[in-house]
Amino acid sequence: MLNPDSPIPLYHQLAERLGEQIRTGELKPGDRIPSEHQLVAMYGIGRPTVRQALDSLVRQGMLCRRRGAGTFVSEPAREIDLFSLDGTHAAFYKKGLKADTRIREKLRLEKIADTPDNPFNGRKAYFFSRLTSLEGTPVLLEDLYLHTGLFAGIDELELTDRSLSSIAAEHFMLRPEGGKQSFRIGYLDAVRARCLDVTTTTPLLQVERRLDFAAGRDGFFSRFFCRTDLIVFSQHMGASSHG
C-alpha cells in the first residue's frame, strides 16, 4: 500500500510503484495496466491522484493511452542519432528503419524575412519543408533553407525520399565541414501540429542546424521539430583529448 503519512505525494508514490513494475519487467511492453477505477480500489486513493500518477508516466513515455482501449506500457523508444553531419535521412537508414519522407511544401526560391535566427534572413534562399513518418506515424517535421549559390539548380532535382547530404555530395560536390546546432522546446501552429498529429500545446524538441562548407559558411540551415514521445533522438560523442 501507499504511505499517506509520507512527505512524498501519493501520486508520486503510485507513479514510482508502477514505474518500478515496468523497469523490472513485472509489467511488460504492450501490457494493459489496471483501469483508474481498479487502481483507486487497489490503493485506496482518489481518482484525481491516480490520474495524476498516470499522466506523469505518460509524459515520461513509460505509458501510452489508446482511445477506447485503456492505458498500456509503452514499447521501448527507438533511438536515432539525429545530430550527425550525415543528415536526418541517413540517421534513420543507419538504424535499419524505413522512414517515409514526403515533401510537405515544394522547393521554391523565396525572400526570408522576420526570422533573425535564420542566417538567410533578409536575403533569398531555396526553401522546402518535409515530413518524416515511421510505420505511418509522423515523427519529424523539417523546414530547410539552402544557399542559392552553393545549391544552384537544386530546383531541377527530385527530392522526395532522398538524402539531402547525398544530393549535396553527388550533385554539388559539397560535404559539410562543421556547423552549429541549438536545442529548445518548441510548439507548432494548428496547421503544422496536425501534420505531426499533435496539438498546439504539445511540447516538441526544436532543433536548429547550420552547416558550413569549404565553399562558404552557413550554406544550409534547417529547423526541425521532433516527437520525443515516439523516438529518442540522441547524439553520440567521442572522447576529448587534453593537451
Residues 91-103 have pLDDT tens digits of 666 656 677 889 9
Model confidence at 157: pLDDT above 80:
yes
> What average pLDDT does range 86-94 have in this prediction?
64
In percent, how much of the chain has pLDDT > 90?
Answer: 60
Taking 50 as the threshold, does the pLDDT of residue 239 lie above it? Answer: no
| Any domain includes 243 | no
Judged against a pLDDT cut of 50, whether residue 73 lies above it is answered with: yes
Mean pLDDT of 179-188: 92
Q: Which residue has the higher pLDDT, 103 or 134?
A: 103
Same-domain status, 59 and 170: no
Residue 127: give the domain boundaries: 78-234
**pLDDT given at position 164:** 85
**239 domain residue, yes or no:** no
One domain for residues 127 and 218: yes
Do residues 160 and 119 both lie within one domain?
yes
CATH number of 112's domain: 3.40.1410.10
Q: Which of 55, 73, 91 is the last residue of a domain?
A: 73
Task: Evaluate if residue 145 carries a pLDDT over 60.
Answer: yes
Give pairs for 86-90: CB < 8 Å, separation 24+.
86/163, 86/165, 87/163, 87/164, 87/165, 88/132, 88/140, 88/142, 88/224, 89/162, 89/163, 89/164, 89/165, 89/166, 90/163, 90/165, 90/166
